[in-house]
Structure 1
Amino acid sequence: MSWPAAVLWILMIGAILSRGPNLLYLMLIAGAFGSLQMLPFNGGVNLLPQSACAALFVGKAMVQRGNIMRGIESALDSQRMILFSAFVGYAVFGAVILPRAFLGLFEVVPISAPISGTDILRPGSGNITQSCYIMLSYGTAVTLSVVGHSAAMRMHYRRALLWAAYVLVLSGVVDLVTYTLHIGAVLEPFRTATYSFLVDVESEGSKRVVGLMPEASTFGTACVGLMASLVFLRPFYKKGPEHLLVLAAIALLGMMTILSTSSTGVVGLGVLSLVYAADLVYRVFDPYNSRRAELNLEFVTLFLALFAVFAGIIIKPNLLDPVYTMIDGLIFEKTKSASYAERTMWTRIGWQAFLDTGGMGAGLGSIRVSNWAVSILGSTGLFGALLMFGFIAQQLLTMPRGARKEAAVFATALKLSLLPTLAMYLVVATIPDIGVGVATVLGLIAASHTPDTLPGSSATSRPAPANGPA
């Protein structure tokens, strides 16, 4: 075990023994350490810091009086977790049964085999580890659906996001500085997971920033995910220094995404821009929208940004040539790369596994693809896909029942912030697991359906901010 892992274990133990939501802060901050092994051995199984924090967070929350029963109620609630509960139950059952039912009948790209290329379908350690990962994400979502309905918890979540954003930015700066000074070995204690690392790759003559992640794509995706959360939750932060810190974090995360030169990150930025533009137009034409007070400031900012770009182009016509070159290399030339060909092969074989099983799937943890939708179809079949996509659609589209205005407004902002991450998942996600970060957001959205009769629900009675999202 490396010294950063030991330090994180000490911090987690301290957070368990302390009062308050310190584990929530640590869980979101730990997302920046995406290549750190927390186990004292490397046996092919990786326990990342965020997963370890999430497990402790779930355990600490559920031992509180009454939370187990409230968790069961949420898990079986038709407007909260019932579809996710059914998906996890079916996926774990399929991880045991399906690889044995279709043993050796077709080829797959194994998720856990120590070889490259394809192999025949067979049970493996991936079925166990992926089942554990999806159950951990499920437990995180259920826990947040129980404890996330209070105004205090929403406040702590927002602050934890801001901390996580600056830690992620700092990791990118450290990665860039150590590479420039040729002291990259300093970060080796943070890169102990049994992954294939791509940390010293250059693109167009510049370093691809990876932070403390295994590769630039993972780092860029994390930056966009946090950036989207801060963009849409921005109205809930206090005016003054905290609000300025949020704006600075948004700008820094956008800069880090560009420095990562991640094509997935570029796609995420594009989706974030489209979602923000659609929300902006909606607020313009909705006279009752509670965020209309910020429209003037937003339009002035956008106008100044566009004016600066056009003025720069007039002064220096080739100003945007490096941008065009980068976008061309990341998006249009991507189809000619070896990694694109390999990932396309993964997805094609995963889709064929879905067809070869008659739509039943090869089992959770049996296949590796590069598309989240195909991963779910190829792993859990049509039934599992209906449950998972039905759960996400339900949380994104349904209105909170009986929730106070602030809780409903907060849930809407969370829904908007989730769309760029889901879009990036469709491009690169290799497994069905939604991850702790997305599970946290979905759990908080589901918490908005918590009946006001539950303990602590009165905390949501605080009036919504005048500039909250619609």
Structure 2
Amino acid sequence: MSWPAALLWVLIFAAAASNGPGLLYLLMACGAFGSLQMLPGSGGANLLPQSACAAVFIGKVLIQRGNVLRAVEAGLDPQRLALFSAFLVYALFGAVVLPRVFSGMIEVVPVSAFRFGTDILKPGAGNITQSGYMMLSYATALSFTVIGQTEAMRAHYRRALLYGACTLVATGLVDLITFTLNIGAVLEPFRTATYALLTDVEAEGAKRVVGLMPEASSYGTACVGLAAALVFNRPLYSPGNEQRLVIVAIGALVLMTMLSTSSTAYVGLAVFGLIYGLDLLVRMLDAGNARRDQIGLEVGLIVFAVFAVFAAFVIKPALFDPIVAMVDKMVFQKSSSASYVERSLWNRVGWHAFLDSGGLGVGLGSVRVSNWAISILGSTGIFGALMMFGFIAQQLVAVPRNASREVVVFATVTKLGLVPVLVMYQLSGTIPDIGIAASAALGMIAATHAPSARRRAVPPPSLAVRSAPVGAPSGFRS
């Protein structure tokens, strides 16, 4: 175990022992350390910092008085997590049964494959590890559903996103600086995961920024996801320094996305821009929209940004040549790259695994693809896909009933910020696991569909330390 992993374990347990929301903030910050192995030794499964922190976070939530019962209620509630619960049961059953039923009969690209090519399906360790990851994501969504029903918790969640964004930007800067100074070896203790790490790759003569993630694609997509979340949540942050920090973080995340030169991240950024533009238009045309408070500031910032880019182009057009060349190579010429050929093979084999299994799938952890929808279909079949996609569609479309203005606004902005992430999953999702960050967002959305009595604000901080309000979940104290 490297020293950063040991230090993070200390921080995780210290945060867990505190009464404040430190563990939640640390959970989001740990998302920036995607190449750090938290387990001792150099072999076996990888336990990443965010997964380790999520496990402790879940434990802290569930040991609070009454939260186990609330978790059972949320897991069985058709308006909240019932579909996700049904998916998990079916997926875990399939992970055990399906690889054995179809063993030796179906061609797959194994999740743990380190070479280009395919293999014949057989039960393996991947079925166990991927099942574990899926259970962790489900438990994360469940925990956030239980504790996400108060205004104080929603405020902590927003601040945690900001913590995560600042950490992600900082690790990207460290990666860029150490590469420029040719001292990249100092980051080796942070890059101990056993899967392939692509950390020193260049494109068009420029360093592809990866931060402390395994590759540029994972870093760039993480930047886009947090940028989208901050943009849509920005009006809900406290006026003053907090909102100004959010604006700086958004700009830094967009810059880091561009420096990652990830084609998936570029597409995600375009989708995010399209969704934001449509949402802005809707708010401008709808005089009764609850999110019109700071629309003038948003329009002003957009006009300033467009004017600045136009002025730079007029003064020095050549300044944009490297950017145009990079986008052309990473997006429009992507189909000629070796990566595209390899990932196309994964998708083709994964799709045929779904068809060859009669639509049942071959089990969690049995097949690697590069498209999240195909991963769900190939792993859990049509039944799993209907439950998982049904759950996501339900959370994105359903409107909280009998909810306050604040709850409705929070649900709306969280949904909008999640859409670019789901689109990027379709371009690069290799496994069925939806991930800790997306699970947390879905859990917070599901929490807005809880009975109205449980969405009341927590009492003043002086009382919150002693007890939670009647009917409200216990969790982190404000």
TM-score, normalised to structure 1's length? Answer: 0.96
Aligned 8 A contact 2:36 2:192 in 1: yes
Q: What's 1:214 paired with? A: 214
1:292 is paired with a residue whose SS is coil
Aligned 8 A contact 1:406 1:460 in 2: no
Q: What's 2:436 paired with? A: 436
Give the whole-Å Cα distance in 1 for the aligned partners of 2:308 and 2:193.
44
* Identical positions, percent: 61
Q: What's 1:457 paired with? A: 456
Q: What's 2:170 paired with? A: 170
Aligned 8 A contact 1:112 1:124 in 2: no
The letter for the 1-side match of 2:249 is: A
Q: Deviations over 1:10-45 (max 9, x none)?
A: 111111211122211111100000000000122220
Alignment of 1:144-155 (within 5 A): 144-155=144-155
Give the whole-Å Cα distance in 1 for the aligned partners of 2:356 and 2:459.
50
Q: What is the number of equivalent residue pairs in this alignment? A: 460
What is the CA distance between 1:460 and its match in structure 2? Answer: 10
Provide runs of 4+ in structure 1 moved above 6 Å. Answer: none
Q: What's 1:466 paired with? A: none
Q: Which segments of 5 or more consecutive residues in structure 2 lack a partner in the other structure?
A: 461-478
Alignment of 1:193-272 (within 5 A): 193-272=193-272
What is the CA distance between 1:215 and its match in structure 2? Answer: 0.5
The letter for the 1-side match of 2:14 is: G
Give the whole-Å Cα distance in 2 for the aligned partners of 1:66 and 1:163.
29
Give the whole-Å Cα distance in 2 for the aligned partners of 1:57 and 1:405.
29
The letter for the 2-side match of 1:60 is: K
Give the whole-Å Cα distance in 2 for the aligned partners of 1:364 and 1:195.
18
Give the whole-Å Cα distance in 2 for the aligned partners of 1:229 and 1:220.
14
Aligned 8 A contact 2:232 2:413 in 1: yes
Measured at CA, do residues 258 and 460 of structure 1 come closer, stay the same or move farther in structure 2, by a change above 3 Å?
A: farther
Q: Which segments of 5 or more consecutive residues in structure 1 lack a partner in the other structure?
A: 462-470
Q: Deviations over 1:328-353 (max 9, x none)?
A: 01111111000110000000000000
Give the whole-Å Cα distance in 2 for the aligned partners of 1:171 and 1:318.
30
Give the whole-Å Cα distance in 2 for the aligned partners of 1:319 and 1:191.
34
Aligned 8 A contact 1:407 1:460 in 2: no
Q: What's 2:51 paired with? A: 51
Q: What's 2:383 paired with? A: 383
1:149 is paired with a residue whose SS is coil
Aligned 8 A contact 2:116 2:342 in 1: no
The letter for the 2-side match of 1:379 is: S
What is the CA distance between 1:195 and its match in structure 2? Answer: 1.3
TM-score, normalised to structure 2's length? Answer: 0.94
What is the CA distance between 1:73 and its match in structure 2? Answer: 0.2
Measured at CA, do residues 460 and 393 of structure 1 come closer, stay the same or move farther in structure 2, by a change above 3 Å?
A: farther
Q: Deviations over 1:43-97 (max 9, x none)?
A: 2200000000000000110010100000000000000000000001100100000
Aligned 8 A contact 2:290 2:405 in 1: no
The letter for the 2-side match of 1:268 is: G
Aligned 8 A contact 1:452 1:458 in 2: no
Q: What's 1:181 paired with? A: 181
2:305 is paired with a residue whose SS is helix
1:362 is paired with a residue whose SS is coil
Comparing 106-115 and 44-53, the one that deviates more: 106-115
Comparing 315-324 and 405-414, the one that deviates more: 315-324
Give the whole-Å Cα distance in 2 for the aligned partners of 1:113 and 1:254.
33
Q: What's 2:122 paired with? A: 122
2:197 is paired with a residue whose SS is coil
The letter for the 2-side match of 1:457 is: R
What is the CA distance between 1:119 and its match in structure 2? Answer: 0.5
What is the CA distance between 1:434 and its match in structure 2? Answer: 0.4
1:15 matched to 2:38? The reply is no
Q: Deviations over 1:170-224 (max 9, x none)?
A: 1011101111111111000000010111111111111111000010001001101
Q: What's 1:467 paired with? A: none
